[in-house]
């Protein structure tokens, strides 16, 4: 098995050093995986996130995991899809890259990502999955601190897209 794996499941249940939250720019919780992480982590997460005063798309912030089995939560707002002509690809790559850099800076060895921006932000899954896998592989190629990066897919369609991207990369 390589240093990247793809699985289907609930990211809030993983015992890893850090899970990544596909946050909105307020970092104050929302729908999808963001809402699920905020609910599972408990009210301390919202208090911790409020102190940041938000986060720009493609950037990342880190908080404790609170009630989650993960030690840390890394929050990154991915881009909203606007047809692909508003730097969405570079912003999405930045979300993955900046999250990985923050994980390494905080001593993490295992990180789990959801599929960033492919839910309500409508980033096409067939474009997001290969970009995410390529960005993670490039980062891992230049960094030996991370032992494993897991893509945690919410449903079978997402799992299939990331599995295909991993096999083709």
Catalytic residue list: 34
Report the half-sphere exposure of 108 (CA within 13 A, side-chain side).
28
Handedness of CA 115, 119, 120, 126 (dihedral sign): positive
Two tokens at 127? Answer: 């474009």
Beta strands in 71-147 (DSSP E): 72-77, 110-113
Residues 99 and 76 sit within 8 Å (Cβ to Cβ)? yes
Distance CA 1, CA 78 (A): 28
């Amino acid at each position: 098995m390589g240093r990247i794996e793809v699985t289907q499941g609930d990211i809030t249940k993983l015992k890893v050093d850090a899970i990544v939250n596909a946050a909105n720019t307020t970092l104050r919780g929302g729908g999808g995986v963001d809402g699920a992480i905020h609910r599972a982590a408990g009210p301390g997460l919202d208090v911790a996130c409020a102190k940041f005063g938000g986060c720009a798309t493609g950037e990342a912030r880190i908080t404790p995991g609170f009630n989650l089995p993960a030690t840390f939560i890394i929050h990154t707002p991915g881009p909203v899809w606007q047809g692909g002509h508003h730097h969405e690809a570079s912003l999405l790559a930045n979300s993955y890259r900046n999250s990985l850099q923050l994980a390494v800076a905080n001593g993490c060895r295992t990180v789990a990502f959801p599929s960033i921006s492919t839910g309500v932000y409508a980033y096409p899954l067939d474009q997001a999955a290969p970009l995410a896998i390529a960005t993670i592989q490039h980062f891992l190629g230049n960094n030996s601190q991370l032992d494993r990066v897991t893509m945690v897919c919410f449903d079978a369609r997402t799992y299939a897209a990331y599995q295909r991207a991993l096999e083709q990369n």
